[in-house]
Amino acid sequence: TEPLLQVTGLTTELGDPARPARVVDGLTLDIRSGETFALLGESGCGKSMTALSLMRLLPPSGRITAGSVQLAGTELLTLTEAEMRQVRGGRMAMIFQEPQTSLNPVLTVGTQIGEAVRLHQGDTRQRLGAERAVELLRAVGIPDPDQRLNEYPHQLSGGMKQRVMIAMALAGNPRLLIADEPTTALDVTIQAQVLRLLKAVQSANGLAVLLITHDLGVVAETAERLAVMYAGQIVETAPMAEFFAQPLHPYSRHLLESLPDAGKRGGRLAVIPGRVPSPDTPFQGCRFVERCPAAIERCRLEVPEWRALGEGRGVRCHLAEPDTAEASDHPVSDR
Ligand code: SF4
Ligand code: MG
């Protein structure tokens, strides 16, 4: 089956075109209907810029310089801004880490959801907007929705605000929901509730979710497949089970090894000595070389090419090879 979202060679630059920072560099991935696909990486590796590129919501200094983004067969990068506005919040919606920055503090919850509904149904009748708003608030597990409609964002807790954001994102019946660190600002119990809600919403509506996170625990619980991002590039993609059984990239292996109980909720990406190189660094070899325990001379001189390794699997490293013999000698359950 055709993927719902097909991203090919997406490249995004920020700042002075004469000396641009390439924050997303040749990113390729596909997401199928109904699945959760995770984009995992440390802060500063280009995850949010990827999301903003897909939504075409880059800051003024940013531009997409190459690539293709197809949603259900429609190329998004060549749409006019007016056409793109129809897609955003319609077929494709996004929720952010900080719900308070996306909610208007002077409008009630009902007004904001009602506007989102009317925008996407092209229906201006107040009454219908309000009815659908109540329905959406109920769908995201907000108690007493009729009453909540009249409240302002400051009267809601962080978890409730994020639920309102999800309700607004659902107003246009999206097929793809991009969630950029949707639970990072919330405490652990509320995080779990919001993730469960996302899962429930997903199975009820069959929508695909692109989950962007630095939290390996969130990924393990929620996603079917993932891509690991480092310094603007994808360095590994894999189905979740294969990733946990046999991570191929040294960066991925480090992320997993430093998680004492892989898959436990709240497990954060480990601190690896060194930092993600800044996107305006000129690269000669592998971008991970300064931090890689496996680096050899070749890694400094030669850029590792992307290697596809069969169904949904790939890696960007000179040394990584899927070692099936080793995998069967050391079964997954040992971990
Ligand atoms: Fe490490 Fe070399 Fe692989 Fe880069 S190419 S991840 S430096 S082994
Ligand atoms: Mg971010």
The angle that helices 126-139 and 109-121 make with each other, rounded to 10 degrees, is 110
* Top-confidence residue, 73 or 99: 73
d(Cα 116, Cα 169) in Å, to the nearest integer?
Answer: 8
All structural domains of the chain: 5-81+205-326 (3.40.50.300)
- Mean residue pLDDT of the chain comes to 86
- pTM for this predicted structure: 0.88
**Ligand 1 test: best mutation among 287, 288, 290, 321, most atoms within 8 Å of CB?**
288
253 alpha carbon, closest ligand: 1
Nearest to 21 by CA among 58, 57, 62, 56: 62
* Top-confidence residue, 12 or 256: 12
**Ligand 1 test: best mutation among 299, 301, 305, most atoms within 8 Å of CB?**
299
pLDDT digits (tens, 9 = 90+) for 197-233: 888 888 888 899 999 998 888 888 889 999 999 999 9
pLDDT digits (tens, 9 = 90+) for 12-55: 999 998 889 999 999 999 999 999 999 999 888 999 999 999 99
Query: Ligand 1 atom closest to Cα of 299?
Result: 2
Residue nearest to atom 8 of ligand 1 (CA): 295
* Pocket lining for ligand 1, CB < 6 angstroms: 249-250, 286, 288-289, 292, 294-295, 299, 304, 317-319
Which string of b and e fits 185-221 if b means at least 16 CB within 10 Å? bbeeebbbbbbebbeebbeeeebbbbbbbbbbbbbbb
* Confidence grade of residue 263 (pLDDT, cut at 50, 70, 90): very low
Residue nearest to atom 5 of ligand 1 (CA): 317
Q: How far is the CA of 46 from the centre of ligand 1 (A)?
A: 19
Q: How far is the CA of 23 from the centre of ligand 1 (A)?
A: 20
Locus of tokens 């169904």: 311
